[in-house]
Chains A and B, each alone.
Chain A
């Protein structure tokens, strides 16, 4: 799969139970590809945990020219059936088919494709179609020694596929935790000495409360899929002074657009000056970031239009300073408080750095006086008293404009997440 000459025993996938070399993986993928072509399937879904079997079947479908959609194991049957119907998918695979090791013949696809669902954190997920070569082309090639990447995203999401592609392009090792729980991911990173970790800010806000984080010595931490705040960058820098801290801006539709390694939140303003021949161009229109991406998706599955070459609104609202493009929220998440627009992420960023707060989410709650108010769900740091935390939160909120101050605070044990990304509502 990696297309590189490498020692036959280079480990591609590592679980708590065993490692799979590139050579062994290639052989199994060829058998599976051969099987899929015999079945004459055109478009399939895979609903399996993030374990090697999923990776093998997914890559087999890709090389065999079968359009393949990885689907979350959390999908309920009705949800899944409606999705399969809507997307014209032949069948949903939940386990590896029995294949013969001798049968490895298949015709490699000319233009392999992959289907992905948008994260659906702020609406029903949409199905997008990618050319496999565009996904591989998005990988920023580096001359790094052999790296072990922790999988801290799910493989049914763009960010997880991005990590997989990165590993494949560089013939590196992907560490697969036993489950999607943050504690399992950290345990895997400790045990197999992860050198590279690509994860969301929310993942780290949970992980930083776990003792295991002290035992990891990453060379690189890549943050993505949510807005990155200065306070989190500072905490990671303090914990891992030797690590390169990178954050990427990517969307399921556009792919990976830019990677920022200067340790500051937001994007450098110079990306707005990129020329039309650049793989990714940016512009800001009416406070919203627009992107034109050469290697983005081909189309939404239910639409025939080829939008790759055109400009696309990202839904991300930004503010420009002299040096940075700063993310202030999502267009769809804006809270309307008595006619004044409030970005929940600005409220979150302001309050997230309180030591009493481990994680919080701001959202709009209906209110008879102002239409909506800003409400907060808060996960407290371990051992913090609720009354004290409430006082501290309201005190800190006084620095916010009146309409942006939270008017209702709920203390919760955890916040729901999709792919280690806070669910928005």
Chain B
């Protein structure tokens, strides 16, 4: 899987974990409220999962990604 596919898969899995209806996550989707709708607990999970998968995560580094594309760029 490409980085982009991995990140989209992670986000979709987090939404599934919270019992939310499946959404199509696109590259330019906003991560938070109006976009994919990740709340603070979901972002906490995203941060932990990225750290586990890639060995680092932007939130711990003080970087705030806004879109899926920001995340892909961070890990590319």
Q: Which residues of A contact B (CB under 8 A)?
A: 337-338, 365, 367-370, 373, 375, 394-395, 397-398, 402-403, 405, 407-408
Contact = CB atoms under 8 A, between A and B. Distances in A.
B49 A368 contact: no
Contact of B41 (A375, A394, A405): A405
Given A368-B57, A370-B41, 9 more contacts: A337-B44, A373-B44, A373-B45, A375-B48, A395-B19, A398-B18, A405-B18, A407-B48, A408-B52
Residue in B18, B40, B41 with the greatest tally of chain A CB atoms within 10 Å: B41
A370 B44 CA distance: 6
Residue in B40, B44, B47 with the greatest tally of chain A CB atoms within 10 Å: B44
B41 A403 contact: yes
B19 to A, nearest CB: 5
Given A373-B45, A373-B48, A408-B45, A368 B17 contact: no
A394 B41 CA distance: 14
Q: Number of contact residues on B: which range applies?
A: 10 to 19
A21 B50 CA distance: 61
The B interface, classified by DSSP as helix, strand, loop or mixed, is helix
B71 to A, nearest CB: 15
Interface of B: 16-19, 40-41, 43-45, 47-49, 52, 57, 59-60
Contact of A407 (B19, B44, B59, B60): B44
B17 A394 contact: yes
A98 B57 CA distance: 62
Nearest to A410: B52
B43 to A, nearest CB: 5
B18 A369 contact: no
Q: Top 4 nearest A-B pairs by Cβ distance? A: A407-B45, A369-B44, A394-B17, A408-B48
B43 A369 contact: yes
A367 B47 contact: yes
A368 B47 contact: yes
Contacts of B16: 394
A338 B40 contact: yes
A47 B57 CA distance: 45
A338 B45 CA distance: 13
Residue in B17, B43, B59 with the greatest tally of chain A CB atoms within 10 Å: B17
B58 to A, nearest CB: 9
